[in-house]
């Protein structure tokens, strides 16, 4: 018996997905060139957002084709819904279109959402190969601006899809870059200035899976949707009209890949989950109801050297981990539940607030709740039954490698005021930090604040070398682009800023709690030429 908060919920309707082709004919529209004024601060660049060409997309025969994923439906349980697995797009030419959609989460009114390529909540999984040069065109079919950021991907700043690469309504934007990242699980999501929270909340985002030779050579589960399962974890709060509360911070209903009360049928063998905390603010301390051990095999930016055994795994918004769970000893017909063990934390842990209603309240706060029911089905002939003991050899940076150091402090201007970095809220016109190309730097992220945060930096993958609150957990000893910074903690990471320099196009660093980001907990840095 678990102390899961019982939820009173309406009968669930069938989810509706309408996959259609992207709109190919785009209306002419003006480019988004936002003039800015110099605020007079000492470290200010006056610049404009990148120009945004509107053009007609001609159908490219090499474009990746949407591949639907049929999930095993041999077992279904009363009161549960089969986990939706995002379809895949594989190749080097990707077309994405973000448009309004709806989901029938509840009886009665459908819930308005937004999604890519006809998906109603989250979008297709883009599968890329290290070494390929890819092109991605994003069409904005919303009635407001958006951007699409490739989270964790190392690329030129003007391809990053940050707040500067605005896609106006009815317009398209293209990014092209060489895939230089290690095999791991990355993601894409809107990053428009002060619209990230809203658009993420409504369902815009999706996975990017990068493959490479090292990972492909390992005997790991990698049959997508069968023994290699993508999981985007989030929760949402709904109004009486079934609408998603657009300023919701903590949801009342767990949505696993956008599926409420999700269950999945998995073979009795090793299975892999690629997990993204896609929340607005909530952390998840993952585990299984029977407290079984599982293994972390990859962090944000690649495999770890060897599988790291854990029974709990804390993830903050924006973080990804790949884990292996052994179902080999589970009887066919049995079930197992993945849960968030979020009870018992003191204030500062995102989701520890005890209120069930109000701005920071939620039915899922400060408790253990279910994420996914797993029904065990027969193993497959090609199933992986033993875990490799060695995965890769990461040459992670150490503190001794750093030749420059900077400190980013999380601050605020008094109770109730937005969080800021170094006492400055985000300003589109201000370059907060300048890093010289090819420098290995130590960044100290200091949080003397009243709440934990999720620090994310664009462009690089870093190595965490120190946490002031205790040892760096084994599962964090891999390449990272996002990390938990607990209340009253300093985290130091080391990163090399290489390959791409620009005096004009900045990268972002920010809290990945979308409400904090939109309210100003974000800064910009340039990687300048030597
Ligand atoms: Cu934050």
Phi (first) and psi of residue 247, to 5 degrees: -105, 20
Amino acid 351: pLDDT: 97
How far away, in angstroms, is 200 Cα from ligand 1 center?
A: 15
How far away, in angstroms, is 467 Cα from ligand 1 center?
A: 17
What tokens does 162 get? Answer: 């940050």
In this predicted structure, the answer to whether residue 66 has a pLDDT above a threshold of 90 is no
How far away, in angstroms, is 511 Cα from ligand 1 center?
A: 5
How far away, in angstroms, is 350 Cα from ligand 1 center?
A: 9
How far away, in angstroms, is 518 Cα from ligand 1 center?
A: 10
**What digits encode the pLDDT tens for the residues 405-450?**
999 999 987 777 899 999 999 999 999 999 999 999 999 999 987 8
Arithmetic mean of pLDDT, 459-465: 98
How far away, in angstroms, is 516 Cα from ligand 1 center?
A: 5
How far away, in angstroms, is 356 Cα from ligand 1 center?
A: 21
How far away, in angstroms, is 493 Cα from ligand 1 center?
A: 18
Which residues, in sequence order, are CB contacts of 372 under 8 Å at separation 6+?
Answer: 83, 231, 256, 262, 263, 264, 337, 338
Give the whole-angstrom CA distance, residue 51 versus residue 33.
6
How far away, in angstroms, is 413 Cα from ligand 1 center?
A: 15
CA geometry: angle at 207 spanning 57 and 251, to 5°?
115
How far away, in angstroms, is 513 Cα from ligand 1 center?
A: 5
Phi (first) and psi of residue 201, to 5 degrees: -60, -35
What tokens does 484 get? Answer: 């938990």
pLDDT tier at 39 (50, 70, 90 boundaries)? Answer: very low
How far away, in angstroms, is 452 Cα from ligand 1 center?
A: 7
User: Of 368, 367, 272, which Cα lies nearest the Cα of 320?
Assistant: 272
Domains, the chain, with CATH or none = 66-210 (2.60.40.420), 228-377 (2.60.40.420), 399-528 (2.60.40.420)
Arithmetic mean of pLDDT, 75-102: 97
**Is residue 95 within 8 Å of 137, Cβ to Cβ?**
yes
**Is residue 71 within 8 Å of 61, Cβ to Cβ?**
no
How far away, in angstroms, is 165 Cα from ligand 1 center?
A: 23
Arithmetic mean of pLDDT, 257-283: 98
Amino acid 129: pLDDT: 98
How far away, in angstroms, is 85 Cα from ligand 1 center?
A: 29
**What digits encode the pLDDT tens for the residues 71-81?**
999 999 999 99
How far away, in angstroms, is 186 Cα from ligand 1 center?
A: 20
What tokens does 11 get? Answer: 């009968």
How far away, in angstroms, is 453 Cα from ligand 1 center?
A: 4
In this predicted structure, the answer to whether residue 148 has a pLDDT above a threshold of 60 is yes
How far away, in angstroms, is 205 Cα from ligand 1 center?
A: 19
CA dihedral 495, 500, 504, 507 (to 10 degrees): -40
Beta bridge partners of 408: 445
**Gyration radius of the chain over CA positions:** 22
pLDDT tier at 11 (50, 70, 90 boundaries)? Answer: very low
How far away, in angstroms, is 427 Cα from ligand 1 center?
A: 17
């Amino acid at each position: 018996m678990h102390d899961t908060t019982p939820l009173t919920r309406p009968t669930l309707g069938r989810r509706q997905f309408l996959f259609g082709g992207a709109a190919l004919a785009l209306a002419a529209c003006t480019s988004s060139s936002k003039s800015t004024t110099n605020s007079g601060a000492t470290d200010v660049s006056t610049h404009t957002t990148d120009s945004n060409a509107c053009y007609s997309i001609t159908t490219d025969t090499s474009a990746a084709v949407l591949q639907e994923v049929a999930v095993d439906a041999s077992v279904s349980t009363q009161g549960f819904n089969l986990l939706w697995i995002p379809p895949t797009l594989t190749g080097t030419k990707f077309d994405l279109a973000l448009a309004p959609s709806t989901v029938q989460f509840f009886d009665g009114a459908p819930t308005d959402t937004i999604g890519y390529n006809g998906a109603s909540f989250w979008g297709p999984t883009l599968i890329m190969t290290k070494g390929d040069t890819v092109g991605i065109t994003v069409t904005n079919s919303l009635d407001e601006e958006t951007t699409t950021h490739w989270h964790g991907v190392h690329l030129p700043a003007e391809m990053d899809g940050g707040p500067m690469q605005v896609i106006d309504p009815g317009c398209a934007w293209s990014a092209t870059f060489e895939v230089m990242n290690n095999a791991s699980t990355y993601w894409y999501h809107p990053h428009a200035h002060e619209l990230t929270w809203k658009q993420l909340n409504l369902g815009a985002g999706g996975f990017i899976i990068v493959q490479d030779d090292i990972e492909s050579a390992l005997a790991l589960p990698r049959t997508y949707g069968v023994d290699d399962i993508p999981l985007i974890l989030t929760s949402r709060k709904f109004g009486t009209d079934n609408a998603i509360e657009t300023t919701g911070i903590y949801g009342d209903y767990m949505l696993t890949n956008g599926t409420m009360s999700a269950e999945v049928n998995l073979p009795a063998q090793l299975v892999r989950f690629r997990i993204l905390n896609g929340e607005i603010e909530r952390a998840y301390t993952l585990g299984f109801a029977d407290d079984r051990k599982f293994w972390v095999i990859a962090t944000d930016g690649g495999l770890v050297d060897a599988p790291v055994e854990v029974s709990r795994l804390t993830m903050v918004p924006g973080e990804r981990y790949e884990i292996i769970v052994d179902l080999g000893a589970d009887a066919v017909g049995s079930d197992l539940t993945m849960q968030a063990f979020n009870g018992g934390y003191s204030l500062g842990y995102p989701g520890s607030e005890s209120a069930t209603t109000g701005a920071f309240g939620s039915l899922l706060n400060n408790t253990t709740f279910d994420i996914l029911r797993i029904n065990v089905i027969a193993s497959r002939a090609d199933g992986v039954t033993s875990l490799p003991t060695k995965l890769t050899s990461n040459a992670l940076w150490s503190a001794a490698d750093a030749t420059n150091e900077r400190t980013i402090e999380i601050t605020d201007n008094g109770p109730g005021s937005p969080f800021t970095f170094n006492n400055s809220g985000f300003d589109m016109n201000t370059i907060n930090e300048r890093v010289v190309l090819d420098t290995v730097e130590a960044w100290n992220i200091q949080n003397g604040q009243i709440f934990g945060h999720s620090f994310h930096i664009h462009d690089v993958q870093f190595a965490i070398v120190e946490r002031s609150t205790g040892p760096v957990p084994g599962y964090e000893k891999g390449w990272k682009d996002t990390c938990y910074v607990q209340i009253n903690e300093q985290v130091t990471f080391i990163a090399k800023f290489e390959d791409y320099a620009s005096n004009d196009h900045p990268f972002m660093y920010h809290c990945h709690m979308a409400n904090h980001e939109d309210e100003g907990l974000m800064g910009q840095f340039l990687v300048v030429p030597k």
